[in-house]
Amino acid sequence: MKWRFALKFLLAFTVLLTLWSWTQFAHFYRNAVLVAVQQVSPLVNGWWLQFDTPNPVGDVVFRFGNRELAMLLDLPVLSMGLVPLVSLIVATPGLRVRQTALRGLIGALLYFLLDVMVVLAYPFIMDQPNVFKDTMGVFAGLVAFVVAPLGLWFILTYSALRPLWQLTLKPPR
């Protein structure tokens, strides 16, 4: 079973990574995150998000009054975290095709929302940086890019993984 899981994961990873690089998915994902953030940012953090307009500060800029804060996150690269997430879901034993597709879709949506939250937190972290904010920024990046795919996979496939990993309590004798 370990080999089958590994082979399914590697095959799904290869196919998805190829599709990710051949299509404009990373650009579409970037724009979708920025549009979502642009709609709620003034209400959530007080900053206005402007992107893809000529600006010497950068392509993506948060504005608050007369202050400008360039966003340095590379959202197209962050979108690549979907590849291992969906690959892990596809490789999970015990899931039927419909369950796999539904969990992959839910996982992608949750990953998207997590990236939106990271971008919304960006002005709090990067405006007037200090040691605490720098640590929060590193932690947010780690969560968004590394922990999120694994954590979401575990949460979304727990019902299928529990019997495999024998995570259920054995009844007393």
Sign of the CA dihedral with 46 first, then 51, 55, and 61 last: positive
Task: Give me the pLDDT at residue 167, please.
Answer: 60
Task: Give me the pLDDT at residue 170, please.
Answer: 65
Residue 144 has pLDDT above 80, yes or no: no
Is the CB of residue 96 less than 8 Å from the CB of residue 17? Answer: no
Q: What is the mean pLDDT of residues 59-78?
A: 91
- Summarize pLDDT for 121-138 with one digit per residue, the tens: 999 888 887 888 778 878
The Cα 63–Cα 72 span in angstroms is 14
* Domain residue limits, the chain: 2-164
Please report which confidence band the pLDDT of residue 142 belongs to, taking 50, 70 and 90 as the band edges.
confident
**Helix 25-44 / helix 2-22 crossing angle, nearest 10 deg:** 80
